[in-house]
Amino acid sequence: MHIVPGDIMDCWGLCRATLIAEAQHALVWKVHARDYGSAALKLYHRADRGNEAASTRLLSLWQDRGAVAIYAEAGKAVLMEWLEGPTLGDIARDGNAESALQVFSEMAHRLHQKPTVAFDELRPLHEVFNPLFDCTFARDCPDALQRDVIRATELASNLLTSQPQVVPLHGDLHTDNVIQTPSGARVIDAKGYLGDPAFELANALRHPNGMPDLVRSRDQIERCLQLYSGALGVSRKRLAQWAAAKGALSIMWRGHGTVSAAPEATLLNLLLRAADQ
């Protein structure tokens, strides 16, 4: 049974804690805060908050652009605004994918329409992708997948050495990390990367989650490439290349460094084809 430590409850004047999400790296609770009313309490498993170490600072810089408000933080704990409403992923899965993706692209544009000052805690993209260059292949890895991962790894190498500029990036911007509240769309769960603006929506090409037929549609991939590249003002081809590179990285992560048969192999191949156009 998970319990919020008493010192955190006392320090921030919290009560009525209800566990609402168990992620790989953190637990999220809905709480009542003495100073804020309803709030979200995120308790990380690691004291350094893992790959979200820079999240709160970046979200605070973006608060006037639609990011969730950060109320307080200490060690493993982050207290933030409670956002009521479905994610854009939920809206898409309910049959309104087109409108959800339009709102999503508008939010991405809003985040990046003006420069954001970089800071030391942001993780450079080359550090994020370094493990991909050392990945291995299981004996049962299909030949086609192995070829595609090697090709995507080559793309990643070329992209990293040719970044036109480096800017602060959310790092995991997709439809399930944007909540549609009564007052508008709001962004949550940033990683906090530093790199090529064209990377920002690479992972979004693999979403909405739970809609594989839509995501693997060549027409849908092209629509999203056009929509997202326009929203960010980046090259459609470069975005497609980053999407393929990120797809390979995700497959490698799931195998803990070893690539074997993967359900996303088809999507990776489609993204590589789009990157070649």
Whether residues 75 and 92 share a domain: the answer is: no
Whether residues 262 and 148 share a domain: the answer is: yes
Q: Reduced to 3 states, what is the DSSP secondary structure of residue 166? A: coil
Q: Residues 4, 41: contact at Cβ < 8 Å? A: yes
In the predicted model, is pLDDT for residue 133 greater than 80?
A: yes
pLDDT tens-digit profile of 222-263?
Answer: 999 999 999 999 999 999 999 999 999 999 999 999 999 999
Q: Domain limits at 61?
A: 6-81
Confidence of residue 3 (pLDDT cuts 50, 70, 90): confident
Query: Considering the domain boundaries, does residue 131 fall inside one?
Result: yes
Listed residue (149, 201, 192) closest to 169, CA to CA: 192
Task: Determine the pLDDT at residue 7.
Answer: 92
This prediction has a pTM of 0.95
Whether residues 37 and 74 share a domain: the answer is: yes
CA–CA dist 144, 163 (Å, integer): 28
Whether residues 207 and 257 share a domain: the answer is: yes
Q: Which two tokens stand for residue 87?
A: 């994610």
Confidence of residue 134 (pLDDT cuts 50, 70, 90): very high
Query: 196: domain CATH number?
Result: 3.90.1200.10
Mean pLDDT of 170-180: 98
Whether residues 159 and 28 share a domain: the answer is: no
Q: Is 85 left (phi over 0), alpha (psi -120 to 50) or beta?
A: left
Task: Determine the pLDDT at residue 23.
Answer: 85
**Rounded to a whole number, what is the largest CA-CA distance in the chain?**
58
In the predicted model, is pLDDT for residue 108 greater than 80?
A: yes
Mean pLDDT of 212-218: 97
Mean pLDDT of 194-221: 97
Whether residues 175 and 250 share a domain: the answer is: yes
| Structural domain count, the chain | 2
Whether residues 250 and 204 share a domain: the answer is: yes
Q: Residues 41, 31: contact at Cβ < 8 Å? A: yes
Task: Determine the pLDDT at residue 2.
Answer: 86
Task: Determine the pLDDT at residue 17.
Answer: 95
pLDDT tens-digit profile of 16-46?
Answer: 999 999 988 999 999 999 999 999 999 999 9
Confidence of residue 166 (pLDDT cuts 50, 70, 90): very high
Q: Which two tokens stand for residue 247?
A: 């797809």
